[in-house]
Structure 1
Amino acid sequence: MLQEKVLIQQKGIISLLKGFIKTMRPKQWTKNLLVFAGLIFSNNLFDAPLLRTTTLGFLLFCMFSGCVYFINDIIDLEKDRAHPKKCKRPIASGLISVKQAIFFLMILFTVTIVTSFQLNTVFAYLGIAYFVLIILYSFQLKHIVILDVMTIAIGFVLRAVAGAVLVNVRISPWLLLCTILLSMFLALHKRKSEMKLVANGQKTTRKILEEYTPELINDMLHIVTSSTVMAYSLYTFNSHNSIYMMATIPFVIYGIFRYQYIAHTRDMGENPELILLSDKPLIVDILLWVASCVWILYFM
């Protein structure tokens, strides 16, 4: 009997821990890989201490975003319970109580802040700025047309800047420009997919969609898509190894077109993280782009 009780308690603890991790949205962590951009493009990828520092920075940004998701799920508890899919989230389903969620959130936030300041003071302030920005987005900025997608872009920029700070390198304006444009490309496709779902009769809680029209989204996407390709191309033209870095442009063009193809034909634009994790041709393209950049920057 005692062993059975111990086993039940262990299963309960494991289930609770899984619930905590699930609430932090691990599938969203791919966005934080942008922290490694500064390390790679500053020719420090094989510097073991800097690689460890950047990896810790990546994990800390995952923890910062995890804190935001906990706050969102606590605030939106009643709405999530009435939603056909969100009702399965750990807090909404009752797997994690509100008290447990708040307690874990306090611990997670405290550990994240303390560790960030121990790692790098400027990085810590950037992490806090990112946290505050996403909180503002969750409760206010996501309801303001155009500013909603621009806020998402700023969040990506903060990740890139934080990564550059960790390796103590000059922040490339090309890195920031490409980051802003690519993140807006993803955000606009997300809005476009959400609008398509609403047009097909699916209910949504995003009132901001009423401010957009398909024509407006398409016009903005045309500008952002062409600007993204042009900005990256100009970066390669001005790169130290420009004649070789130009060879990576096709990977960028294919990746953008492949993403658009998936968003249009499979209605997955609402979840960009799922596209990045599930589409094999896109994954192969990204890996080839990274491999080619590393080869050119470090071995040519």
Structure 2
Amino acid sequence: MPQILSQPESRTAEIKPLCVDLDGTLVKSDTLIDSLLVLTRTHPFILLRLPGQILRGKAAFKAIVTDHVALDVAHLPYNRKLLQFLQKEHSQGREIYLTTGADARLAQRVADHLGVFREVLASDGTHNLTGTRKLASLRDRFGAGAFVYIGNDTPDLPVMAGAAESMVANPSRRLRMKLRAQGITPSQAFEERREPLRSLIKALRPHQWAKNLLILLPPLLAHNHSVRLLSAALLAFFCFCCVASGTYMFNDLLDIETDRRNPKKRFRPFASGDLSPAAGLAAIVLLLTLGFAAAQFLPAAFSFWLLLYLGSTLLYSFYLKRIALIDVIVLSALYTLRLLAGGAAANTPISHWLAGFAIFLFLSLAIVKRFAELENLRLTGMQLKNDRGYLMSDIEQIRAFGTASAFAAVVVFANYISGPDVTALYHHSPRLWLIVPCMVLWLCRVWLLASRGELNEDPVAFALTDGASLAMGGAVLAIVLLAM
């Protein structure tokens, strides 16, 4: 049986005990789903054995998951409005009980962390404390209609109907409808969740689609401006945006607990509990289906590169991103892969010089992202969570790798614009040399900001919002037009 937490016994007899649900109510997410996502990332092979355990019952299944995953209760996405209300009631001497279908060990850890609950009533590995079973348990504990209950979804409906007073926290649409049908009016509502469509759009990371513009470069750099080829390139861009967004969402689901510990990433839709994993999985399936269905209208070679991109990003999400140096090499390769895919879609092979330039440039950008993460942690004095394979002592060596790669990209670009292919395409090709100082200035500026701890995001996303970067990009475009 869960232990009883210490609490003063002073409370007026008229105040009924307050019983609070956990999943979707006190916490905006579902702790069982969160635990399964953590298990998928940390012990995927154990996850494969779990379906057979469901036959033992839902309570036993929850207990088995809790055996393998110790969810970080300190960083769960709590409903702050509800939590403030509970803290106020607790300070006034009211008895508050955590009554949940979650496993008792997990629920007890939540109660110990928050310190407002007198007792925990939860699933014990044999009995799943939800619905009518939860109602019976509360009646046995307090008597019929002698408690107040706070819930969020239809499984809470029997308990709310049997309570003296009911409240809701982020109630589902189904619960609202059924409460209305039964004439139950909650006395209070604790709403703290962003609009689902807005959260879904944020989870897609549309700002990252700028990386997929690389797909358009092969036909543009080859000066092949036929409508057919440009249409093919745009369709390829659409396919990559769909698949990339699907992989971003999948990565966010796997990193849900890690993101909650990060001061910025904790506001991501899945980490914050604003978007459910079920909605995310449905969106992932839809996005991947759209991407690969549209790819059927392009050459088969493009589908190969798209499939390779998907496989590489999944492998990166599961494993490779935790291996130092391998992670940044994979990231840079994914950029180059976009160029190859664009060339395949438009039947326009890319120059080996362009491929080499892309590898060195994007390797530098991938490294600067890792460098900035370490430097920002060092400057703020935060503890390094070593889930990326890097140590704080690696900073100077990482800086050396990244800056060397940046200048290697400049050298390769200088050789590229001096080649016969480029001189044949541009009437004033020597003017392209004006791009070199723009590149040097931008790359040095990015590394300088990172060294100062002022680069707080992906360098590509930074470039899209930084005025100086946009100005240099405009200058490069103007130089290209003058060279033509």
TM-score, length basis structure 1 = 0.86
**Whole-angstrom distance in 2 between the partners of 1:85 and 1:222:** 26
**Whole-angstrom distance in 2 between the partners of 1:77 and 1:176:** 34
Answer yes or no: is the 8 Å Cα contact 2:321–2:388 preserved in 1.
no
Q: Which amino acid aligns with 1:138?
A: S
Larger radius of gyration: 2
Out of 25, 37, 42, the position equivalent to 2:205 is: 25
Q: Which amino acid aligns with 2:450?
A: A
Out of 262, 278, 293, the position equivalent to 2:449 is: 262
> Residue 230 of structure 1: CA displacement?
0.7
> Residue 113 of structure 1: CA displacement?
0.9
Quote the RMSD (CA, aligned, Å).
2.5
Partner of 1:37: 217
> Residue 111 of structure 1: CA displacement?
1.2
Partner of 2:187: none
Structure 1 residue 121 and structure 2 residue 300: aligned? yes
> Residue 115 of structure 1: CA displacement?
0.8
**Whole-angstrom distance in 2 between the partners of 1:188 and 1:74:** 24
Answer yes or no: is the 8 Å Cα contact 1:268–1:274 preserved in 2.
no
Pairwise mapping of residues 137-176 of structure 1 onto structure 2 (< 5 A)?
Answer: 137-176=316-355
More strand by share: 2
Partner of 2:400: 219
Relative to structure 1, is the Cα distance of residues 87 and 188 closer, same or farther in structure 2, using a 3 angstrom cutoff?
Answer: closer
Partner of 1:198: 377
More helix by share: 1
Answer yes or no: is the 8 Å Cα contact 2:463–2:469 preserved in 1.
yes
> Residue 122 of structure 1: CA displacement?
1.3
Relative to structure 1, is the Cα distance of residues 207 and 117 closer, same or farther in structure 2, using a 3 angstrom cutoff?
Answer: same
**Whole-angstrom distance in 1 between the partners of 2:295 and 2:284:** 16
**Whole-angstrom distance in 1 between the partners of 2:235 and 2:270:** 28
Structure 1 residue 285 and structure 2 residue 464: aligned? no
Q: Which amino acid aligns with 1:129?
A: L
Partner of 1:109: 288
Q: Which amino acid aligns with 1:195?
A: L
Relative to structure 1, is the Cα distance of residues 269 and 257 closer, same or farther in structure 2, using a 3 angstrom cutoff?
Answer: farther
Relative to structure 1, is the Cα distance of residues 77 and 258 closer, same or farther in structure 2, using a 3 angstrom cutoff?
Answer: closer
Q: Mean alpha-carbon deviation: is it higher for 79-88 or for 131-140?
A: 79-88
Q: Which has the higher contact order (CA 8 A, sep 6+)?
A: 1
Amino-acid identity (%): 27
The DSSP-based 3-state class of the residue aligned with 1:118 is coil
Out of 89, 100, 112, the position equivalent to 2:279 is: 100
**Whole-angstrom distance in 2 between the partners of 1:132 and 1:234:** 33
Pairwise mapping of residues 171-190 of structure 1 onto structure 2 (< 5 A)?
Answer: 171-190=350-369
The DSSP-based 3-state class of the residue aligned with 2:223 is coil
The DSSP-based 3-state class of the residue aligned with 2:324 is coil
> Residue 258 of structure 1: CA displacement?
2.8
The DSSP-based 3-state class of the residue aligned with 2:391 is helix
TM-score, length basis structure 2 = 0.55
> Residue 183 of structure 1: CA displacement?
0.4
> Residue 211 of structure 1: CA displacement?
8.1
**Whole-angstrom distance in 1 between the partners of 2:217 and 2:439:** 15
Answer yes or no: is the 8 Å Cα contact 2:323–2:388 preserved in 1.
no
1:144-203 Cα offsets, whole Å, 9 max, x none, are 222111111110110011111122112210110010000011111112111112223224
Partner of 1:276: 463
Partner of 2:436: 249
Relative to structure 1, is the Cα distance of residues 225 and 104 closer, same or farther in structure 2, using a 3 angstrom cutoff?
Answer: closer
Out of 412, 416, 419, the position equivalent to 1:235 is: 416
Relative to structure 1, is the Cα distance of residues 225 and 97 closer, same or farther in structure 2, using a 3 angstrom cutoff?
Answer: closer
